[in-house]
Amino acid sequence: MSLKKHILDLRKRKEKIEMGGGEKAIEKQTAMGKMTARERILAILDQDSFTEYDLFVEHEAKDFGMDKKQLHGDGVIIGTGTVYGAPICIFAQDFTVAGGSLGLMHARKITKIMDHALKMRVPLIGINDSGGARIQEGVNSLAGYGEIFYRNTIASGVIPQISVILGPCAGGAVYSPALTDFVFVVDNISKMFITGPGVIKSVLGEEISMEELGGARVHAETTGNAHFFAESEKECFEQIKKLITFIPWNNSTKAKEFPPKEPVFKGNLEDIIPSDPRNPYDVRDVIRGIVDEGDFFEIQELFAANIVIGFGRLKGQTIGFVANQPLVLAGVLDCDSSDKAARFIRYCDSFNIPIVTLEDMPGYLPGVDQEHAGVIRHGAKVLYAYSEATVPKVTVILRKAYGGGYIAMNSRHLGADFMFAWPTAEIAVMGPEGAANIIFKKEIEEAEDPNKMRAIKVKEYKEKFANPYVAAAKGYIDSVIEPNDTRNILLHAIEVSKGKEVHHPKKKHGIPPF
């Protein structure tokens, strides 16, 4: 055969495999509003940057009629490419081929690209659209998942791992994403569960739809398993690309610096906090007022909204923001918001991203539900994560910093490098009303007019403690600052912390409260 003929033969073979499960299966996929695995990869990566590997891999299964089945690419596409120039390893499961189910060779393809990602120290994106372990391949499929989970864990904190859920994902197809850093879901397309509605019905007799059980909204709002929610695959891919711009390629580098931009905030930071301390405000307005171009990229926006986390830039440098949200539950820490904050703090610490904490919260949420749900161990995660983090850590107390909240939200005592407070800050063991009721109980009870006496004592307490100056007098707060100076002061704090080095005692690893 001439070379030309060899090339034509190669092209024909490729074309056939690239059709995945064939025209009918692709039509079914498209009818569900889903892109194909190949289209998804091409939509995420820079144009013409994708190089595929293992296209010709075939399964070796024989049981249950598998010896007669040809599964193109064994139901998964792997390769490398770039996103805005950043090198990326990527895989996409192809639901048109045996429901994207994971057999031995399918798993080997995924572990091959994971090994590349770890060796080359570049981010890994996994697009999951799979019915989980391929039933016909028995223990080989389970072995495949185990090898993926192992690599997810070893790569954790070394390279960014991003999971995209774009179909009905069951069993192992959701445990691997759960071990990764960021999970993206799309409304009406993503479903995640360990056991599907069928199993639930047969075991428990309960009826529930796939959407209600594990739809995108459920995971973005209720379980917290998803970090980003999108209305369409296109929007989801834009979110992934934007995330890539904020994070470094691996844990030995820093996120790419962008050209410095001024904030575009139209208002005045002094006008955000209401004069009545009982009134809420949106802390995201403060963040937007501080960061370059007002561009704040929020993570887990719909879950545990009493805390806000996400990335922004200060003069082109990526910063991780953690902020209490007075708009929701007065910004308290509870089980979910503690988990959300702690995990993000650990992410920033692993990937050399400085953390800015904005504090306004009355403490941990009281109540039987919270206590029984384990708020002690969940809340302790925040203490652990801040104490352990060695990246530059700066706190600005905007308003309330009461009790455990004062300590937990990156206080000086947990290792904050710089502590600033707005003049509106109130730093105390508890709010003035509660405190006056306890420490002046006797005077209030014995007074002729207890309400009047209570008001006097509350005022007395406020004047004494509900301000930043007691803490500033003790050096716990480095500086009381004007709101409009916040950006410049943060810029300076981050700039002078660039060479920060902290060495904790050598250990294999800590044992954080789970």
Identify the three-state secondary structure at position 492. helix
The answer to whether 57 and 82 are in contact (CB under 8 A) is: no
State in angstroms the smallest separation of the CB of 140 from ligand HXC. 12
Q: Which CB sits closer to ligand HXC, 209 or 390?
A: 209
**Which amino acid type is present at position 363?**
G
Pick the closest to residue 111 from 144, 133, 80 (CA basis): 144
Q: Which CB sits closer to ligand HXC, 170 or 353?
A: 170
State in angstroms the smallest separation of the CB of 115 from ligand HXC. 20
State in angstroms the smallest separation of the CB of 429 from ligand HXC. 45
Q: Which CB sits closer to ligand HXC, 196 or 362?
A: 196
Q: Which CB sits closer to ligand HXC, 40 or 315?
A: 40
Q: Round to the nearest angstrom and report the end-to-end CA distance of the chain.
A: 63
State in angstroms the smallest separation of the CB of 195 from ligand HXC. 7
φ and ψ at residue 217, rounded to 5 degrees:
-65, -40
How far apart are the C-alpha atoms of 325 and 300, rounded to whole Å? 13
State in angstroms the smallest separation of the CB of 499 from ligand HXC. 43
3-state SS of 64-109? Answer: HHHHHCCCHHHHEEEEEEEECCEEEEEEEECCCCHHHCECHHHHHH
How far apart are the C-alpha atoms of 20 and 293, rounded to whole Å? 43
State in angstroms the smallest separation of the CB of 197 from ligand HXC. 8
Helix (H) or strand (E) holding 324: strand 317-324
- Residue 185's DSSP bridge partners are 165, 229
Q: Which CB sits closer to ligand HXC, 57 or 375?
A: 57
**Rg of the chain's alpha carbons, rounded to an integer?**
26
Q: Which CB sits closer to ligand HXC, 89 or 170?
A: 170
State in angstroms the smallest separation of the CB of 406 from ligand HXC. 41
Q: Which CB sits closer to ligand HXC, 210 or 480?
A: 210
Q: Which CB sits closer to ligand HXC, 98 or 286?
A: 98
The helix, strand and coil proportions of the chain, stated in percent and rounded to the nearest 5, come to 45, 20, 35
Q: Which CB sits closer to ligand HXC, 199 or 502?
A: 199
State in angstroms the smallest separation of the CB of 397 from ligand HXC. 43
Q: Distance from CA of residue 191 to its chain's centroid?
A: 18
State in angstroms the smallest separation of the CB of 30 from ligand HXC. 14
User: What is the DSSP secondary-structure string of 285-311?
Assistant: HHHHHHSGGG--EEESTTSSTTEEEEE
Q: Which CB sits closer to ligand HXC, 123 or 144?
A: 144
State in angstroms the smallest separation of the CB of 391 from ligand HXC. 33
| Residue corresponding to tokens 């922004």 | 312
Q: Which CB sits closer to ligand HXC, 99 or 224?
A: 99
Identify the three-state secondary structure at position 331. helix
Pick the closest to residue 382 from 363, 397, 362, 354 (CA basis): 363
- Give the number of other Cβ atoms within 10 Å of residue 118's Cβ: 18
| Residue corresponding to tokens 């495999």 | 17
How far apart are the C-alpha atoms of 441 and 415, rounded to whole Å? 36
**Which amino acid type is present at position 52?**
E
Helix (H) or strand (E) holding 514: none
State in angstroms the smallest separation of the CB of 34 from ligand HXC. 10
The per-residue b/e assignment along 377-413, b for 16 or more CB within 10 angstroms, e otherwise, is ebbbbbbbbbbbbebbbbbbbbbbbbbbbbbbbbbbe
State in angstroms the smallest separation of the CB of 145 from ligand HXC. 5
Q: Which CB sits closer to ligand HXC, 22 or 274?
A: 22
The binding site for ligand HXC (CB under 6 A) comprises 98-99, 101, 131-135, 142, 145, 168, 170-172, 175, 196
